[in-house]
Amino acid sequence: MVLSILFLLVAILCGLAVVRELRRKNFFAFGFAAVSFAVFGWFSVMTIISLITTGTGAPIAH
């Protein structure tokens, strides 16, 4: 749970970096910030959903 919250905070900071670098028209940094936002955001949201639905941080193995 703590790891997903930390990754969510990182994703929020990456989202702020996306906006800042887009204003500065630094497209290389914008690309890296956008990719980081997508990866960290996806991981944190999916981990939180998994915690809510299964009660554990791992998916159910069938």
Residues 45-60: what's their mean pLDDT? 79
Cα–Cα separations (whole angstroms), residue 34 to 8, 41, 50:
14, 10, 24
- Is 21 a domain residue? yes
Q: Is residue 17 in some structural domain?
A: yes
Number of residues that this document lists for the chain: 62
Q: Confirm whether 59 is domain-assigned.
A: no
Structural domain including 29 reads 2-53
What confidence tens digit (pLDDT) does each residue in 8-22 have?
Answer: 999 999 999 999 999
Residue 51 to residue 34: CA distance in whole angstroms: 25
Q: Specify the pTM.
A: 0.80
Token readout for 26 is: 């630094």
DSSP state of 55: S
The structure tokens listed for 9 are 């905070």
In a domain, 61, yes or no: no
When divided into structural domains, the chain yields a total of: 1
Q: In this model, does residue 57 exceed pLDDT 70?
A: no
